[in-house]
Structure 1
Amino acid sequence: MRSVHGGRHELGQNFLVHTPTIHSIRDLVATTHGPILELGPGDGALTAELIPLGRDLRAIEIDEHRVRRLRQRHPGLDVRHGDALYARYDRPVVVGNIPFHITTPLLRRLLGQRDWQHAILLTQWEVARKRAGVGGATIMTAQSAPWFSFELHGRVAAHRFRPVPSVDGGILSITRRGSPLLPLSERSGYERFVRDVFTGRGRGIDRIVRARGGRRGAVRRAGIAPDALPRDLTPEQWAALWRALDEQ
């Protein structure tokens, strides 16, 4: 009997079968503390490595047949039938091999929730690379940077999955900052500001900022070169620029 959600292709499932990569993800999780939430365990290759860590582990799987098999294989494991994209990420550590087609919406939802501290995710390579700021920051990364840090832990070749996807994967870790660069109460205003700067007209951050009403000198006070591009700014520079404009 087939799942009501469809087969592997329909669910966007590409299972990681490369043992060294599975161990790398497990080792990253081992550096964290507290209960773990695993998203999309599939056949349980990573789950089997997380269980020996001896921590409270919950898994959310969309395929009800795999839910049943995981429960049979690991009696006592908290396996729940559900969609990881709509789950509540309410444990300190979130880990998972994320279906590539839902990577961006899942990240947006994850970054909007407050009850987790560390996320170790296997995502599409281009998404992992961009979120980690390799080659320059994106709007989403810059919007989140005052409250989260992003780190890339390596590329995972497509042939290390089954079925083999059309693109490589990447291991991305996200950590909630212990000391945020900006108050959380300013997040919505700051996110609008970042979006406006990234989509604003002009060549160079100084012209872009002044075109949207910022006074001359704000960029200089933030310690940013006038001709820098939005993608070139560090999290600290974004926060400094926001504060400099707020002081006008």
Structure 2
Amino acid sequence: MSAHHRPGPHELGQNHLTDRRIVDEIVALVADRDLPVVEWAAGTGAITRGLARLGRPVEAVELDPRSLEHLRRIAGPHVRVTDHDILRHAPPTTDHDLVANVPFALTTPVLRRLLRLGAWQRSVLVTQWEVARKRAGVGGATLLTAQWWPWYRFTLQRRIAASAFRPRPSVDAGLLVVDRRPRALVPERPGYQAWVRSVFQGRGRGVPDILVRSGIPRSAVRSWASEHQVTERSLPRDLTAQQWAAGHALATGARRVAGRGIRR
């Protein structure tokens, strides 16, 4: 967004959370973690006030001038209000948790940016219901979820009715919790993510067939599938984080064997 344009709530897609029970549930998800909290898209401070009562440092990030004015009036001693675009704001480089009632219009760019940032340990996000379901792998994993699963756990906490917001959005929301894994399931990211994309886009009746067509020996694929309970008809959206990680290890090992064969 241009520095000369100060968009209002409607342009920002802001739907302020007004249901006190949902606010309390969001705050409870970071209450016992003893880390500073960054809140993106703080709005008029419904969640900010609850976070402030934890007695820990809170940075409330907001762009709308009217909301900023209100935030500064209600901010307690633990709260620092930051006037910034959440797509450009730089969170701390030390461990922290992040909370956001994500503007629906910005859901995808916010998620993509968040997953690439370091330091945060837990993110508690209010997003569109369908987005929350997809990210948590409910009904099948999407490409984006599968690409990031080795580094994060995605949990769908609950559905939030549209009536919990003002102005009322046209769809329900979901409460999504993203936790950084203490130990990644895969050692390197770019190669893994490119491989996952190739599997999603690959031709075949199921994942084992796709892997065989990619050049992995059928016997190795059969052993992997048996060990990790992958059926012949399992599709990419059906795999779990652990199955994806094991599949990538299989593909990496097959490439190494093929490489040694070529060098001979």
Do they fold alike, i.e. is TM over 0.5?
yes
1:20-76 deviation digits (Å, cap 9, x = unpaired): 111110111113231100011111011111101011110110112321221122254
The alignment yields a C-alpha RMSD, in angstroms, of 1.5
Letter aligned with residue 171 of structure 1: L
Q: Give the equivalent residue in structure 2 for 1:189.
A: 191
Residue 24 of structure 2 aligns to a residue in which SS? helix
Separation of aligned partners in 2, 1:173 and 1:75: 26
Q: Secondary structure in 2 aligned to 1:170?
A: strand
SS in 1 for 2:127: strand
Paired AA for residue 96 in structure 1: A
Alignment TM-score, normalising by the size of structure 1:
0.94
The offset of 1:180, in angstroms, is 1.4
Q: Where does structure 1 differ by over 4 angstroms across 4 or more consecutive aligned residues? A: none
Q: Does 2:146 align with 1:142?
A: yes
The change in CA–CA distance for 1:218 and 1:161 in structure 2 (over 3 A counts) is: farther
Q: Which amino acid aligns with 1:240?
A: A
Partners in 2 of 1:203 and 1:27 — Cα distance? 44
Task: Tell me which residue corresponds to 2:253.
Answer: 247
- Residue of 71, 77, 80 corresponding to 1:78: 80
Q: Which amino acid aligns with 1:220?
A: R
Q: Provide closer, same or farther for how the CA distance between residues 47 and 35 of structure 1 changes in structure 2, counting only shifts above 3 A.
A: same
More displaced 10-residue stretch of structure 1: 212-221 or 75-84? 212-221
Alignment check: 8 A CA contact 2:52 2:76 kept? no
How far 1:16 moved relative to its partner? 0.6
1:207-246 equivalence runs, <5 A: 207-222=209-224, 223=228, 224-246=230-252
Report what 1:22 is aligned to: 23
Identity fraction in percent: 46
Instruction: Could you tell me which runs of 5 or more consecutive residues in structure 1 were left unpaired when the two chains were aligned.
Output: none
CA contact (8 A) 1:40 1:61 kept: yes
| TM, length-normalised to structure 2 | 0.88
Structure 1 residue aligned with 2:96? 92
Quote how far apart the aligned CAs of 1:246 are: 1.1
CA distance in 1, matches of 2:107, 2:249: 31
Tell me how far apart the structure 2 counterparts of residues 70 and 227 of structure 1 sit (CA, whole Å): 53
How many residue pairs get aligned? The number is: 244
Give 1:87 shift. 1.8
Residue ranges of structure 2 left out of the alignment (5+ in a row): 255-264
The verdict on how the C-alpha distance between 1:198 and 1:89 changes in structure 2, with shifts beyond 3 A counting, is farther
